[in-house]
Chains A and B, each alone.
Chain A
Amino acid sequence: MKKYILKRVVTAVFTLLVIILILFILMKLMPGSPFNDEKLNNDQRAALYAKYGLDQPVIIQFLRYVGNLLHGDFGVSYNISKNTPISQLIATRLPISVSIGFAAVAFGALIGLLLGLLAAFKHDTIWDTIATIISVIGVSVPSYVFALALSYTFGYHWKIFPMLFSRAQLVKSSVLPSISLSMFTMANIARFTRSEMLEVLDSDYMLLAESKGISGPALIFRHALRNALIPIITVLAPLIVDLMTGSLVVEKIFAIPGVGSLLVNAIQSNDYNVVIALSFIYSAMYIGIMLLVDILYGIIDPRIRLGKSDGEGGGRKKLRLARKGAGA
């Protein structure tokens, strides 16, 4: 098992290195520099390049960057928050984005799952229709329109929730942005749950389970839901990380000091260091989640780890074997 994890970690680190290199090259291809301002002439720009070492060859910059990264140093911001260490920017902003994103995913996944189950079990009834309508609206309308509609009705008109994010009212002011963000997730999950559940409910093993006399929650959760969860998790995992970039606009609207709005500003002002750092974090999160998903696969669907049946070592061991088995 240790060997397997080690292997995965090495692969992950390698992946991240490749990603940083690609980002570096993309940044260099990007026209314009962080120091394109009407007020700056060429001499000043050259001085700034020299100051930040941007006049060095790309490969030197890359090696230096990776070297610094090993010390947890992301470098400094060039222009959106001049000379501020990026680690400091991220330290204050990431928790906010993550907590709002987490609330959105939790809310979206929960409601989505419930709606999907409702639609599947009450197939072709009014409940199915209602759930379908909600999920269709969720995928039909961009999140910034939801944000606008929510802040207009609940913030401006009824004054139930604050329209702007504030640390003083952390929970209350996170409600509207979280809901706006969760709509897309919720709709996707609801739709997917419905379609997967319908398939599962029609399957022979459900018939078998039912005929064995299993019923109620045990039937739904142990047999039906468990089988439907694989594709759902596959959909959910990228959605979680997408929330970070998906939240860009919503963060802007609700004035949330998160990483999403930081990334947009950084891209628009060519702040390479910030773009690379945030992309790196995004990538790391993504790779972590994908690892988790692979493990969850094994837990939920025993068929995937059905490689060999030597019985020893428990679930984790089986997971490793599952990979081998899958290749056979």
Chain B
Amino acid sequence: MKRRWIACVLAGAMTLGLFGCGSSAVNGTGTESSGSVVTGTGTSSGTDSSVVASDEDLNVMMETPVESLDPQQATDGTSFEVIADYTDGLMQMDENGEPVKALAESYDVSDDGLTYTFKIRDDANWSNGDPVTAQDFVFAWQRAVDPSVASEYAYMLSDIGQVKNAADIIAGTKDKSELGVTAVDDKTMKVELNVPVPYFLSLMYFPTFYPVNEKFFESCKDTFGTSPETTLSDGAFILDDYEPAATSFHLKKNPDYYDAGRIKLAGIQYQVIQDSQQALMSYQNGELDTTMVNGDQVDSVKDDPEFKAVGAGYLWYLSPNISAVPELANQNIRLAMTMAIDRDSIVNDVLKDGSEATYTAVPLDFATGPDGKYFSEDQTKFKDVCSYDADKAAEYWKKGLEELGESSMTINMLVDADDAPQKVAQVLQEQLQNALPGLTINITVEPKKQRVQDMQDGNFQLGLTRWGPDYDDPMTYLGMWVTNNSNNYGLWSDKDYDAIIDKCTTGDLVSDTQGRWDAMYDAEKIVMDQAVIFPLYTQCNAMMVKSNVKGIEYHPVALNRVYKDCVKGAS
């Protein structure tokens, strides 16, 4: 029966061999750098690149399938990106994320900041030949607030955009025709607001505000946005191969685009790949021009010139349930926890995707202020209440325990069942337990939908969550912690804070840019001093982009990737 022995050995050897070939194989593909390439900057002139454009498609990897191509129904970044590929709004983003004119030929703002008048370009046409009219916008915006459509982003028009009557229409007390947007003539539209909204123009590149051709929509009805035949383009590309939830789909250049000369790509081929390993190998094989890389694979690409980290906008933070957990209602305990977290270690040792440690309630590289700097440029301003300092943490911890009259506690931490949150949670558990004697952290892993439900129901102790900005203003974050906001998971409440936020959104500071900015710093300070949240990091995505591809713009807000100025050279 010696054969059985051989069987054992062989089986083991084959298993080893299977993976041995993985470790020993070396593949040095994809580093040929074309020396003459000049980085194409993303201005709208589109003639500044020395890269010779090839006739090929740009092959783009996506993590998740498109959820909806209906601009008023879509909510996720993937859908927004694709909608924006073939649809233009009134405004678009420049490479710095500032709003610049797109379909709007010109716009006027009344002196009180309450009325915007947009003039639509004469040469803006839908791909079926119809001109883009003011009525298209009115129709789309009315859909966005129509209770029967139940658009999830309706609040972009009401709470955030402050468009007149939007809130009442959503609540069902007024008819959608009373929305504060009117077509003066075919090419002129007027928008009325309740209060001046300083960032209103930057909302115009958000897909919820994109136009929809009413006649075309009525001809497709329920099938709108489910196939190339039921989508209409007024943008840079035309969708020519798509089915719902497709894992690969294609857009081709729109020859009738009013700015067609700017577009250098022949088309975009999207490929949804949920497995990052497979995506990276496909990229290295040349099947993809750009892909996202998981932190685990960064070790193998970090020296590659094609590797880069781009901001994703999300702020990840821990939310303590202040109202329901007596231990976490103690401010010293909360301060001890936030001071015990080594954020640099989390981003550098574990995530490794370029995410940046964050010590403010508003994420990094986001929202430019009157001084021309990002809101959270200064990361040390709260170093007394939010930094990594084990001694101070221990001090707060001792004080907190004394106040509570306890010597130990067990806290449950709720996290998503996704890759990154689980990684972060394991490190947090270790860091908190090591720094704070007597603390036990239990991790509960749940699918995201359930985690959100539990946090919204207040059914948690410590929750790891994230928030992506909806518009380019710190208020998209600071607005969360006002009393009774549905995202104020810890049910924290502070009158002074509510008053400041109120002043900045609907009160007398709305038109005082500098005053508003300062007031928001004050508000942020309250949140940080009381450790209402423990900010952790601003998410970045590790990307690979082939050296012959230039000019993809990355934005943390609304449209994560824009290809209008992208050039793919001959490889």
Contact = CB atoms under 8 A, between A and B. Distances in A.
Direct contact of A and B (CB under 8 A): yes
Given A81-B245, A129-B6, A262-B245, A156 B150 contact: no
Contact of B22 (A77, A133, A152): A152
B486 interface: yes
Contacts of A164: 248, 271, 273, 278, 282, 287
B25 to A, nearest CB: 6
A27 B274 CA distance: 26
A82 B15 contact: no
A124 B6 CA distance: 13
Nearest to A40: B152
B274 A155 contact: no
B11 interface: yes
A129 B7 contact: yes
Contacts of B25: 152, 157
Nearest to A167: B248
B244 A84 contact: yes
B11 A36 contact: no
A256 B273 CA distance: 9
A129 B4 contact: yes
Interface string B292-321: 000000000000000000000000000000
Contact of A37 (B18, B152, B245): B152
A141 interface: yes
Interface in A197-211: none
Interface stretch (A42-50, A223-231, A293-301, A315-323): A42-50
Contact of B18 (A81, A126, A149, A157): A149
B224 to A, nearest CB: 9
B150 A44 contact: yes
B112 interface: no
A253 B278 CA distance: 7
Most chain A beta-carbon neighbours within 10 Å: one of B4, B22, B247 = B247
Contacts of B244: 77, 81, 84, 88-89, 92
Instruction: Tell me which of B11, B465, B466 has the highest count of chain A C-beta atoms within 10 A of its own C-beta.
Output: B11
Given A31-B450, A81-B67, A88-B226, A37 B14 contact: no
Contacts of A151: 278, 281
B495 interface: no
A133 B68 contact: no
B245 A89 contact: yes
Interface string B270-290: 011111011001101101000
Contacts of A165: 247
Contact of B15 (A42, A84, A137): A137
A270 B247 contact: no
Interface residues of A, number: 67
A157 B21 contact: yes
B67 A82 contact: yes
A309 interface: no
A83 interface: yes
A257 interface: yes
Given A33-B449, A252-B274, A255-B272, A44 B152 contact: yes
Interface in A109-137: 124-126, 128-129, 132-133, 136-137
Interface in B441-481: 447-450, 452-454, 456, 465-467, 470
Interface in B1-54: 3-4, 6-7, 10-11, 14-15, 18-19, 21-22, 25, 27
A80 B487 CA distance: 23
Nearest to A85: B222
Contacts of A89: 244-245
A44 B75 CA distance: 13
B70 interface: yes
Contact of B285 (A48, A128, A159, A265): A159
Contacts of A253: 274-275, 278
Contacts of B454: 31-32
B243 interface: yes
A82 B70 contact: yes
Contact of B152 (A39, A159, A166, A256): A39
A129 B449 contact: no
23 contacts: A35-B152, A36-B452, A36-B456, A39-B152, A39-B153, A48-B152, A50-B150, A82-B73, A129-B10, A136-B11, A141-B15, A149-B22, A151-B281, A152-B22, A156-B285, A163-B281, A163-B285, A164-B248, A164-B271, A252-B275, A256-B247, A257-B247, A270-B447
